[in-house]
């Protein structure tokens, strides 16, 4: 009987324990359901918009429609010819969480080794990364081969790659496009906004494989705006010929560099911007010195030396204080601020009374300093009035030391203030023969054009227009997005001043290889180099320049040519630059069919 009671109590205890467990589970279920209900309420009421957006994101395709970059053209016998083109290329994009690294690495090494732009080890070591660009500018054929490997989560984005069919031709002018699609240096950099256009956008409903569906009320497509096709005023054939002749000149001399600028002085149109040595814009990354990217005709202010005598002589003639036959006494030097400034040419036959025409012919510093004295109203000394008038002509009229307004990004330079600093008189004496200032070749050539074209300063231009449906139409550069504030024409010298300067420059030329039937005039310049804040009086390094014009005899000048030759540690005189000018002027007469006088 006792055993039976004991078993009965055990049975009751077991049933009680089961009831408690069931009750606990019921409570747990109720709590869980309550939590779920609360969470569903939060999701449905408070987080409704967020979850809808996430759902839409899973089924929405967002894709950039890449704008086609505009192309660059030069002129060739009156017709625009493409010198910078586009070809289809691809970016390769992966999802590191899905893409198989070994397969991807093998495919890239096999088909696109030279186009890899990322470190795969670093990409795969980055936790949570779902998007990475691993290669750029991959040619179509290579992209197709990688696609045929069927590697998971490898995507191809179509874009444009720059092609330079003329190789190194005018590379300093053209510039290049980097791996990020941004124009750098030259026209590519200056016109980057115009050339780039504006990317478009495709937003569409997509399936699970991110393939766009034709249905979807929120589908949108913003078309891309392709970049403008810009036609440069550069003559392709002339540019080739000029670069060839300049390269030959370098090989004949100690020079390592040469720059040549050819322009029409009556319109400001630029026909040639040559810089040697060149580089290949399609292989820009292999350039070892960033200076190779420079367009030295506009990017680097320098001292063109005695070429500036054209400007001080023009100023004095224009002010009515001298003419070609005005005389002065040449004693081979002038003493200014207790410092003797010597002529480079000191032959005994030049000692004594000379005309200003002779002073320009022999490029005498004493002659240009005398012109400065005359500007100041005192033939015996440099005055404040003389300094201020020369500054007015150099900076305000000839616009030296400031941007010309050409469509390209350009350097400015400087002209010293006439009333500030130590040794103002000696500074301005040096300014008369082109030292103690910084001006570009384009500033110099534009000012020289005003000297010989009848006295009008014109904004230079390197752009012919925009190519639209095969026709060259005007391209507006006056908007805030562009570099040019508009074309300027200003009469700064009288017709008589310009005519007298032309005669003096023709007299000054007298070059043995100039052809009959043409007027060729010009002026040379040999500049010392500044080392450690002072001019190198050892003359171990010199920069040679020459500027001149070509015209049918008896007619107005048709072309201006400026040459510059230099080399680090080399003494390059103006004779080398003058010889290069002579070769180029004869070549230009033939190429552009400049007719001789009847």
Angle at 151 between CA 146 and CA 157, to 5 degrees: 55
Nearest to residue 271, comparing CAs of 229, 232, 300?
Answer: 232
Contact between residue 68 and residue 226 where contact means Cβ atoms under 8 Å apart: yes
586 pLDDT higher than 90: yes
Tokens of 203: 């937003």
Q: How many CB atoms lie within 10 A of CB 544?
A: 28
> Residue 97 half-sphere exposure, CB side, CA atoms within 13 Å?
5
For residue 15, the model assigns a pLDDT of 64
- Scan for tokens 């779902």, then name that residue: 130
Taking CA atoms, 567 is separated from 49, 256, 442, in Å, by 69, 5, 20
What proportion of the chain, given as a percentage, has pLDDT over 90?
60
Task: Say how far apart CA 466 and CA 91 lie, in whole Å.
Answer: 29
As a dihedral over the C-alpha atoms of residue 503, residue 508, residue 513, residue 518, rounded to 10 degrees, the angle is -10
Helices 384-391 & 424-431 angle (0-180, nearest 10): 40
For residue 482, the model assigns a pLDDT of 47
Tokens of 104: 């991807």
Eight-state DSSP code of residue 396 = I
560 pLDDT higher than 60: yes
For residue 215, the model assigns a pLDDT of 46
For residue 116, the model assigns a pLDDT of 87
For residue 38, the model assigns a pLDDT of 66
For residue 553, the model assigns a pLDDT of 94
Segment holding 361, helix H or strand E: helix 356-361
Nearest to residue 392, comparing CAs of 316, 501, 496, 299?
Answer: 316
Average pLDDT score over residue span 93-108: 87
Tokens of 467: 């190519």
Summarize pLDDT for 15-56 with one digit per residue, the tens: 667 777 777 677 777 767 777 766 666 656 666 666 555 555
Summarize pLDDT for 430-441 with one digit per residue, the tens: 999 999 999 999
Q: How many CB atoms lie within 10 A of CB 220?
A: 9
Highest mean pLDDT among 87-101, 141-155, 230-244: 230-244
Q: Binning pLDDT at 50, 70 and 90, where does residue 574 land? A: confident
For residue 52, the model assigns a pLDDT of 55
Asked, as a colleague might, if the bond just before 249 is cis with ω within 30 of 0, I would say no
φ and ψ at residue 141, rounded to 5 degrees: -60, -45
The pairing of strands 183-184 and 176-177 is: antiparallel
Mean pLDDT, the chain, as a whole number? 88
Is 418 or 198 the better-scoring residue by pLDDT?
418
Contact between residue 281 and residue 173 where contact means Cβ atoms under 8 Å apart: no
Eight-state DSSP code of residue 225 = B
For residue 463, the model assigns a pLDDT of 97
Tokens of 448: 């020289």
Ramachandran quadrant class, 568 (left: phi over 0; alpha: psi -120 to 50; beta: rest): beta
219 pLDDT higher than 80: no
- Scan for tokens 């070994």, then name that residue: 102
Contact between residue 212 and residue 54 where contact means Cβ atoms under 8 Å apart: no
Tokens of 565: 């030759």
Tokens of 221: 């497509």
Contact between residue 395 and residue 386 where contact means Cβ atoms under 8 Å apart: no
For residue 418, the model assigns a pLDDT of 97
483 pLDDT higher than 60: no
Summarize pLDDT for 234-267 with one digit per residue, the tens: 999 999 999 999 999 999 999 999 999 999 999 9
Summarize pLDDT for 283-316 with one digit per residue, the tens: 998 888 889 999 999 999 999 999 999 999 999 9
For residue 1, the model assigns a pLDDT of 45
For residue 540, the model assigns a pLDDT of 82
Highest mean pLDDT among 89-98, 120-129, 400-409: 400-409
Q: Which of 59-63, 192-196, 229-233, 497-501 has the lowest mean pLDDT?
A: 59-63
For residue 153, the model assigns a pLDDT of 83
Average pLDDT score over residue span 163-178: 95
């Amino acid at each position: 009987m006792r055993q039976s009671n004991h078993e009965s109590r055990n049975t009751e205890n077991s049933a009680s324990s089961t009831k408690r467990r069931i009750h606990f589970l019921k409570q747990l279920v109720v709590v869980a359901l309550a939590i779920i209900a609360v969470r569903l309420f939060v999701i449905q009421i408070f987080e409704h918009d967020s979850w809808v957006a996430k759902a839409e994101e899973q089924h929405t395709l967002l894709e950039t429609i890449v704008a086609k970059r505009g192309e660059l053209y030069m002129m060739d016998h009156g017709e625009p010819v493409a010198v910078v083109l586009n070809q289809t290329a691809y970016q390769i994009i992966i999802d590191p969480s899905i893409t198989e690294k070994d397969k991807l690495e093998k495919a890239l090494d096999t088909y696109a080794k030279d186009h890899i732009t990322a470190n795969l080890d670093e990409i795969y070591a980055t936790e949570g990364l779902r998007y990475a660009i691993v290669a750029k500018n991959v040619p179509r054929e290579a992209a197709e081969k990688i696609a045929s490997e069927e590697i998971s989560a490898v995507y191809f984005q179509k874009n444009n790659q720059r092609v330079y069919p003329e190789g190194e031709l005018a590379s300093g002018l053209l510039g290049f496009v980097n791996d990020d699609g941004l124009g750098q240096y030259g026209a590519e950099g200056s016109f980057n906004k115009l050339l780039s256009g504006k990317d478009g956008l495709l937003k569409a409903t997509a399936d699970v494989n991110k393939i766009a569906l034709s249905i979807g009320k929120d589908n949108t497509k913003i078309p891309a705006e392709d970049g403008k096709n810009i036609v440069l005023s550069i003559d392709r054939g002339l540019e080739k010929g000029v670069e060839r002749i300049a390269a030959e000149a370098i090989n004949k001399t100690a020079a390592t560099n040469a720059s040549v600028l050819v322009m029409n002085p009556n319109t400001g149109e630029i026909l040639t911007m040559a810089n040697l040595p060149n580089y290949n814009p399609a292989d820009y990354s292999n350039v070892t010195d960033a200076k190779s990217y420079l367009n030295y005709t506009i990017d680097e202010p320098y001292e063109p030396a005695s070429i500036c005598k054209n400007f001080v002589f023009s100023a004095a003639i224009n002010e009515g204080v001298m003419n070609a036959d005005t005389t002065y006494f040449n004693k081979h030097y002038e003493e200014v601020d207790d410092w003797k400034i010597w002529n480079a040419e000191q032959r005994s036959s030049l000692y004594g009374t000379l005309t200003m025409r002779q002073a320009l012919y022999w490029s005498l510093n004493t002659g240009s300093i005398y012109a400065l004295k005359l500007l100041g109203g005192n033939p015996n000394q440099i005055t404040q009035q003389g300094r201020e008038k020369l500054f007015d002509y150099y900076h305000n009229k000839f616009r030296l030391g400031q941007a010309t307004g050409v469509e390209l990004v350009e350097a400015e330079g400087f002209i010293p203030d006439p009333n500030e600093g130590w040794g103002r008189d000696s500074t301005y004496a040096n300014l008369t023969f082109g030292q103690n200032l910084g001006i570009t070749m384009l500033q110099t050539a534009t000012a020289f054009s005003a000297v010989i074209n009848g006295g009008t300063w014109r904004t230079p231009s390197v752009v012919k227009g925009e190519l639209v449906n095969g026709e060259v139409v005007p391209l507006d550069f006056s908007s805030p997005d562009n570099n040019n504030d508009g074309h300027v024409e200003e009469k700064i010298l009288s017709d008589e001043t310009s005519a007298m300067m032309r005669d003096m420059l023709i007299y000054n030329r007298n070059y043995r290889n100039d052809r009959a039937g043409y007027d060729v005039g010009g002026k040379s310049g040999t500049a010392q180099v500044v080392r450690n804040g002072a001019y190198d009086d050892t003359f171990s390094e010199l920069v040679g320049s020459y500027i001149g014009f070509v015209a049918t005899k008896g007619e107005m000048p048709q072309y201006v040519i400026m040459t510059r030759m230099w080399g680090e540690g080399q003494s390059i005189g103006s004779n080398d630059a003058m010889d290069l000018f002579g070769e180029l002027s004869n070549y230009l007469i033939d190429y552009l069919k400049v007719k001789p006088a009847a």
